Amino acid sequence: MRMLESRAMSLAVVVLAAGQGKRMHSALPKVLHPLAGRPLLAHVLDAARALNPKQILVVHGHGGAEVRAAFAGTGVEWVEQARQLGTGHALAQALPKVARGAQVLVLNGDVPLVRAQTLKQLVAESKKGLAICTSDLGDATGYGRVVRDARQRVRRVVEQKDASAKELRIREWYAGFLAAPVERLSAWLSELKPANAQQEYYLTDVIGLAVKDRVNVATITAEDPWEVAGVNSRHELALLERAYQNAQARRLLEAGVALADLWRVDVRGKLSCGRDVSIDVNCVFEGEVTLGDRVRIGPNCLLRNVAVEADTEILGYSFLESATIGKRCRIGPFSRMRPGVTLGDEVHIGNFVELKASRVGARSKANHLAYVGDAEVGERVNIGAGTITCNYDGAAKHRTLIEDDSFIGSDTTLVAPVTIAKGSYIGAGSTISRSTPAGQLTLARAKQVSVPGWKPPRKK
């Protein structure tokens, strides 16, 4: 255990995230653009943390204040690259903060799907000198080509703008990750010169310097093209989003979930499913969502931080957020659950019903056209169409209590704070502003009046 801890304490991860992302055509810093509902940089930091490093340093530049604010309190160290003079210059800003004797792993903040296992292999190989991640999958356009000698030893990496026609035909390209001892990297970075087409300090030039110093350059080849794919445009981001979501869909299918279409489901967080769960098309799952056995989700639903127990059906076009749903419930279509909703077993919430910060007991029903907010609803309660709880007086929220076995007639207004006692019947069209007695019928209607001889106005 002490040996493992010692190794973990000797690793520093530096994430280069200072780029402007001009091709995104956006005021938002590139690393804050969302993939699967989270910033690109968040995915990279997750992979870094899986290695248990001693330090994680993020080099920021364009939109630095926004980037820092988005990751406030996450434990990373921030390094500013005030002038963007290239990737080598960016790393040089961070290395003075790295402890002596550490191994340094360099990542890019716009390559979000890299796997922790690949990075672990890269760090392990770097103990011999310098290790880089390469790929020969997909299109190499835009990437530095890996130049090898006749014995297939790495000699250097040449960036595309500086490559010859022959070098541009090389299929193997540098994927943007490298690892080496901090002392070695510091020495090589001090030798960099901006003698290239972009007049920048290229980090890739350290590979040629390592070869010059007779340092072993090891390569780790990425097995999945998507884990080394960077984001430089909205088109590339959209392609990466579909690749990520398709991988999530395959995972669900392999776990036994029935998907109507593996191309039309989005998981933007963590989705856990029991046995025989079915999900129709165009459903979105955000945050942490748990679906129990035999849960059925209809088309075009959004669930955000929701737990649904067994045998419940959520019909199409329903939106549930921060809610807990019991067993054998039926929800929707066109239902909305706002944060703070808890439903007991066998509850029916129908079309165009909205609930907020409310608890609904077992076998209660609100089948259509109702709003229930800041309420405690007992068991076996029926809430008729057009019923609303008036929970807000313009300054504060108030609670409504509807006890077991109550019947709320259609088009009823419940003015909180109010208690509907057990077994109460509320006549349709009533406005209830005082608590009701148990087991009685309560009416609160204006007197009906007909006006003899009345005639409608006529246009002149």
Name the residues annotated as catalytic.
368
Phi-psi region of 36 (alpha: psi -120 to 50; beta: other; left: phi over 0): left
Residue with structure tokens 């690749």?
Answer: 243
Find out whether the peptide bond into 333 is cis, omega within 30 degrees of 0: yes
DSSP lists the bridge partners of residue 414 as 389, 432
**How many degrees, rounded to 5, is the angle at CA 381 between CA 328 and CA 402?**
125
CA distance 293 to 272: 11
List strand residue ranges (DSSP E) for 345-424, in order.
Answer: 348-356, 359-360, 365-373, 375-377, 382-383, 388-390, 400-402, 407-408, 413-415, 418-420
Residue with structure tokens 């999945």?
Answer: 224
DSSP string covering 282-329: TEEEEEEEEE-TT-EE-TT-EEEEEEE-TT-EE-SS-EEEEEEE-TT-
339 closest CA partner among 352, 356, 353: 356
Phi-psi region of 289 (alpha: psi -120 to 50; beta: other; left: phi over 0): beta
Environment class of 446 (CB within 10 Å of its CB; exposed 0-12, middle 13-18, buried 19+): exposed
Contact 365, 346 (CB under 8 A): no
